[in-house]
Amino acid sequence: MTTELSQIKKRFGTFEALKTISLSIEKGEFIAILGPSGCGKTTLLRLLAGFEEPTAGHIAIDGDHVSSAKKTTPPEKRNIGMVFQSFALWPHLSVQEQVEFPLRHHPHTRKDWKKNYQGRALDVLKLVGLEQLAKRMPNELSGGQRQRVALARALAHQPAILLMDEPLSSLDAELRVDMRKEIQRLHRLTNSSIVYVTHDQEEALAMADRIVIMKDGQIEQVGTPQHIYLYPETPFVARFVGKATMVDGRWEGNRFRPDAAPTLSWDGEGVSEVFKQADTYPVRPDQWLFSREQTGMEATVVNAMYQGRERHYAVEVGGEVIHAISPATEQYKIGEKVSLKMRQAEKQTKAHTG
């Protein structure tokens, strides 16, 4: 069964926080909602959870009509689990009791689990590797352990959909990467769909089956991580996900000729019509090819950062500063004049000449 959001609008007073959102989430699918601060991600999640009512439209979770402007099922009656940034564990309950609580009280808990809630709670704690800490209280746990308890509590009754709002943002960088893997593992082991709100594109690209990119209360693009990264459909998505620069130039069918070096042209197969109509080409930092021979777009290095495997540069082209990445083996100094081409253009040339 899918979860459906149909024509959802949400207004706070005169402010339209969500403007006609429609989205279908498959059973077991991992959806990341990605967008900048204030674009409406949390509002969308709160509507799914039942903390807010839509101004228009309706929501069905696993076939249950839970939300419309007329009628809303409260959060505790929805077949959902929730994990928030703050973990929100109950301070007076032990680890085991945190997980038992929803099993005993949630209306969607399977009958056999409700009866044997202690056994099921232990099984779920084993799943997240916390069975040894079942008797501990929340204040006796590390941040990562607390987040595991929050996950176990949310997953215990096997909700149709697990809602997660920036669940890793209060953990340090290393733990965040570990917990990403943990969430992916748990997702594989359960049948729950996941809706995961984040403003971290790396997290969304790494974890989701599909990413929903939001801007100003609307969906900009929906697609697999690879599709969104390689084939952005709007300048906003190209900049936000791919950190792309919009290069001005002319399109001749599927070939692009940059204004800054009109003798150069490169292939634009698959580039969205939106860019063609705007006479631009979105180039990601990793797509630039540096050279000292003046055969491409003239540029001056204004900043350089060594990053181990690669070097990140800020370079000025025609008065605009853009970001470009080179392999660490290539080194350019601040102030140095370089020449930039699209990586793909080089491949094309090789293919034509080779």
- Residues forming contacts to ligand ATP in the complex (CB under 6 A) are 12, 15, 17, 35, 37-43, 199
Which is closer to ligand ATP, CB of 85 or CB of 349? 85
Which is closer to ligand ATP, CB of 17 or CB of 151? 17
C-alpha to C-alpha distance for 46 and 87, rounded to whole angstroms = 16
Tokens of 291: 């050279």
- Burial of 158 per CB tally in 10 Å (0-12, 13-18, 19+): middle
| CB contact at 8 A, 191 and 27 | yes
Amino acid identity, residue 267? D
Which is closer to ligand ATP, CB of 18 or CB of 301? 18
Which is closer to ligand ATP, CB of 33 or CB of 160? 33
The CB-of-178 to ligand ATP minimum distance in angstroms stands at 23
Which is closer to ligand ATP, CB of 22 or CB of 331? 22
The CB-of-214 to ligand ATP minimum distance in angstroms stands at 7
The CB-of-35 to ligand ATP minimum distance in angstroms stands at 6
67, HSE (Cβ side, Cα atoms, 13 Å): 31
257: enclosing H helix or E strand: strand 255-258
Amino acid identity, residue 104? R
Which is closer to ligand ATP, CB of 37 or CB of 277? 37
The CB-of-216 to ligand ATP minimum distance in angstroms stands at 9
The CB-of-139 to ligand ATP minimum distance in angstroms stands at 27
Beta bridge partners of 5: 23, 59
| CB contact at 8 A, 35 and 214 | yes
The CB-of-197 to ligand ATP minimum distance in angstroms stands at 7
C-alpha to C-alpha distance for 82 and 164, rounded to whole angstroms = 6
198 DSSP 8-state letter: E
